[in-house]
Structure 1
Amino acid sequence: MPESFGSNEVTFRLSRSRRSVPRSRAALHAVLGGWGAGQDVLEAAELVLSELVTNALRVPVPSGRQVGVRILRAPADGLLRLEVSDAGSGTPEVRMPGDEETGGRGLLLVEATAHRWGVEEREGGIGKTVWAESKAPDIVAEPVGREVAAAIVQPGQHVRVWGEWRVVVSVRSEQCDGCDSAVVLGLDEGPALRVLPTDPLAVRQGMDV
């Protein structure tokens, strides 16, 4: 990873579910909106991330493994970098599917859309990281927060919900029969927010609201 990205990064994990693709796009949309990215950059990045996450979800991996996503920016270089990690083996390659094939075009789209892309061994674990960099000259340098899993949000932090920043005043877990466990965040204004522990939330430590 280029050192020039510094602390301008957002990381989160996704469960191995079809719902994770739209969730990754929603998280990316929130992050890039805060970074001031234009519509063209946003649309291209959403396409690239969708293909990378989709590919990662198709890879056979040991039970319980999730997909890691990292979004980074280098404002000085005008670059946006997307990384998707999985615990599977092998190296993905660009395919040239025939006219009758309905799939297999994911990396072909990534190659056509991104400035450059590649594959690296996964840092600190098994598997690999597929990355793609795109030119994004309009992203801004000011840090606006980071994306974290809802399970690690703490009281006193600010989370972005319903288009506004809210202070978290309480955090509790909620269990129910026959459904996923949930994290319930009590906010300084409005109703409590009930989300899955793995759902990504935009978080800041402190700010004027």
Structure 2
Amino acid sequence: MAEANEVTFRLTRCRRSVPRTRALAHAVLSGWGVSQAVLESAELVLSELVTNALRVRVPRDRQVGVRIARTLKNGLLRLEVSDAGSGRPEVRAPGDDETGGRGLLLVEALAHRWGVDEREGGIGKTVWAELKAPDIVPESVGREVAAVMVRLGQRVRVLGEWRTVRMVRTESYAAGGLAVVLGLDEGPALRVHAAEPLSVLDGGVPSVREGPEGTPG
């Protein structure tokens, strides 16, 4: 079964909802494999957004909605907190003697970006923040082929990094046998035995292969 890319839950309007939010966020984000630094920032951002939502004046039976989502393609976490209150939160610059009013300053400092949207199909608003989380992007998994089967435009794994193949040619070893030389987008060319297994990812560049001495293969 595919792992969920979003989690939603609702909170009652009480003080216990803030630590509950942090605990739920910790469980979700740990399961998604985010780094400790991103996890701590996300917990803090989400708890500040929930704290602000709980302070909004609304009927007592109105709950606070929370959504935690990830975008694997871009490596982003999106945190959303919805309430039934009117108005839009604004970043303040509280004085040194004020004990509150710094929540959105923290959100602005820790988030990649944040904003406020009207709730779809209901009253109130949704305050959201996005954080960069490259750890949630799944690592590409290649397939193994013999070096002689590698084509232009494919990516090969070299010393733990994926490199795009820009040139392919074959050479003969002095002692006999065939070698494959791969020109890469970064670093020196890779020269391996034709039967050497390499991990590859397919690309979209047509194949042009040269034979020994630079002749077409």
What TM-score do the two structures reach when normalised by structure 2? Answer: 0.61
Matched-pair contact (CA < 8 Å) for 2:54–2:64: yes
Larger Rg: 2
From 1, 10, 13, the equivalent of 2:7 is: 10
Q: Which SS does the other structure have where 1:120 is aligned?
A: strand
- What is the distance in 1 between the residues matched to 2:26 and 2:66? 14
Q: 2:43 aligned with 1:53, yes or no?
A: no
Q: Which residue number corresponds to residue 152 of structure 2?
A: none
From 92, 96, 105, the equivalent of 1:95 is: 92
Query: Unpaired runs of 5+ in structure 2?
Result: 140-217
Q: Which residue number corresponds to residue 118 of structure 1?
A: 115
- What is the distance in 2 between the residues matched to 1:13 and 1:100? 34
Q: Which residue number corresponds to residue 40 of structure 1?
A: 37
Q: 2:75 aligned with 1:78, yes or no?
A: yes
Cα deviation digits, residues 62-95 of structure 1 (max 9, x gap): 2300000000000110100000000000000000
Q: 2:20 aligned with 1:28, yes or no?
A: no
From 16, 33, 41, the equivalent of 1:19 is: 16
From 105, 108, 111, the equivalent of 2:105 is: 108
Q: Which SS does the other structure have where 1:138 is aligned?
A: helix
Matched-pair contact (CA < 8 Å) for 1:59–1:88: yes
Higher relative contact order at CA 8 Å, sep ≥6: structure 1 or structure 2? 1
Count, aligned residues: 137
- What is the distance in 2 between the residues matched to 1:81 and 1:90? 22
Q: Which SS does the other structure have where 1:56 is aligned?
A: helix
Percent identical = 81
What TM-score do the two structures reach when normalised by structure 1? Answer: 0.63
Cα deviation digits, residues 182-201 of structure 1 (max 9, x gap): xxxxxxxxxxxxxxxxxxxx
Query: Unpaired runs of 5+ in structure 1?
Result: 1-6, 143-209
